[in-house]
Each structure stands twice: as C-alpha cells, then as structure tokens.
Chain A
Amino acid sequence: IVLTQSPATLSLSPGERATLSCRASQSVSSYLAWYQQKPGQAPRLLIYDASNRAAGIPARFSGSGSGTDFTLTISSLEPEDFAVYYCQQRSNWPPTFGPGTKVDIK
C-alpha cells in the first residue's frame, strides 16, 4: 500500500493551525498512525489507529479519517512542533510509511 502525504512542506508560524494529509492507495480501514521526527532523533508515535493519541502526546495533536483519507491536525503550533511528520499504515504487510511532511517555521 502506497501512502502519499501532502503538502511536502508546510510553512507556518507558531500559534497557527497545521493540517497534514495522508492518502492511501487502497483502504487501510483505521489502521493508520502518525509519527513525528526531529533532526537527529528517532521518530515518536503521535497517533495510532487514525485518532488515538499515544501516551504523553499533547491534546493539540489530533487525527481523523478512515479508509483512504486521513488528517493530522495540530491545533496551535508550539516551537517544538516544527519537524517532519510521517503517516504509516498497518492494514497490509508490509507496514509502509508515507514520504513525510515537513512543518517548518515561516
């Protein structure tokens, strides 16, 4: 299953709302996760099964969608949120990741 993320880069200011999209080449039901990765660091799980926040993830991060279209929303960007975000499906083997969306400071 191929995942496509848009936009490739999102330039925003702190305090603004970020909306990231992930589209699957076929239905993945709700088996979609979102990860955040900062330079030189390992990825961190944010959302799993489309809308469940992982432990310790702030409420400003939310996920939605099912089937082939998914959204990660960051309600109000904090300075530490500028990073690359990957979606990942686990509906079919092998699990696959999208190419990522970079959220950078405008």
Chain B
Amino acid sequence: EVQLVESGGGLVQPGGSLRLSCAASGFTFSNYWMSWVRQAPGKGLEWVANIKQDGSEKYSVDSVRGRFTISRDNAKNSLFLQMNSLRAGDTAVYYCARGLGAAAAVLTLWGQGTLVAVSS
C-alpha cells in the first residue's frame, strides 16, 4: 500500500526540541520531492519545508528558517523534520507529503499527520 506515516509528535515546552519522522512505503521514495506542511488547530494549511529527491536542495519558510531542518534518508525511505527552539505558534498537526514528479509543490500523497503541542 502506498502510504506515508508520521511519528514523533507530542507535548513540548517552549524552547524545546522534537524530531518528526515520516515513513514511506509502497513507492520509490528516492524519486520524489518531499514536504512538510502544518495546520494549527482550527486553522488553514501552511507550508513548512521541502527537500529534493537526493537531499541536495532544501527550502523552508521564513517563520521556521534557522530553527527547523528538513532531511531524508533514502535508504530507509524516511523523511525527517528536526524542530528546535519551539514556540507556542508552532503548535499544529504536521503532515508529510509527496510531490508530483518535477512539480515539487503539488502534493499528491499525504500522511495522516502528527500533532505537536508547544506549551508550558
């Protein structure tokens, strides 16, 4: 079955760190751009970061740049998001998603999401 499964979310204090993982299966992971998108409770969608097939290109939005790092391990079919210096505003469900071929920012496959709650 083609799927993405996120893990690693949880409750963390402001200033803390978390590492999210996304396990891919059922497709050739190394052929696709991958992305993280988040959704604050009751709010809309916000792009976080994406990474090229071989990891040679990475992009992130201004609000997380310098705090979050996207990475991947193609041998393990896994995507990661290292989140440092977390703030209350980072509270959201974090989705990993797969791009459409060369169209990195067309998201054809999404995981079920993992909730990150930043609170003291």
Chain A residues in the interface with B (C-beta under 8 A)? 33, 35, 41-45, 48-49, 54-55, 86, 88, 90, 93-100
Cross-chain contact of A48 among B45, B103, B111, B112 (Cβ < 8 A): B103
A35, B95: Cα distance in complex, Å = 14
Q: Which of B60-111 contact A (CB under 8 A)?
A: 61-62, 95, 100, 103-108, 110-111
Find chain B residues with CB under 8 A from A41 CB.
112
A99, B45: Cα distance in complex, Å = 8
Find chain A residues with CB under 8 A from B95 CB.
42-43
Contact (Cβ within 8 A) B108 A95: no
Find chain A residues with CB under 8 A from B107 CB.
33, 35, 43, 45
Find chain A residues with CB under 8 A from B111 CB.
42
Find chain A residues with CB under 8 A from B105 CB.
88, 90, 95
Q: A48-B100, A90-B106 are in contact. Are A97 and B44 (CB under 8 A)?
A: yes
Number of A-B contacts (CB under 8 A): 48
Find chain A residues with CB under 8 A from B62 CB.
94
A98, B46: Cα distance in complex, Å = 9
Find chain B residues with CB under 8 A from A100 CB.
44
Cross-chain contact of B108 among A45, A49, A94, A99 (Cβ < 8 A): A45
Cross-chain contact of B110 among A33, A43, A86 (Cβ < 8 A): A43
Contact (Cβ within 8 A) B45 A94: no
A73, B111: Cα distance in complex, Å = 26
The residue on B at minimum CB distance from A45 is: B108
Q: List 18 A-B contacts (CB under 8 A).
A: A33-B107, A42-B95, A42-B110, A42-B111, A42-B112, A43-B107, A43-B110, A48-B100, A48-B106, A55-B108, A86-B45, A90-B103, A94-B47, A94-B59, A97-B44, A97-B45, A97-B46, A99-B44
The 8 closest A-B pairs by CB, nearest first: A90-B105, A42-B110, A97-B45, A95-B105, A48-B106, A94-B61, A95-B47, A94-B47
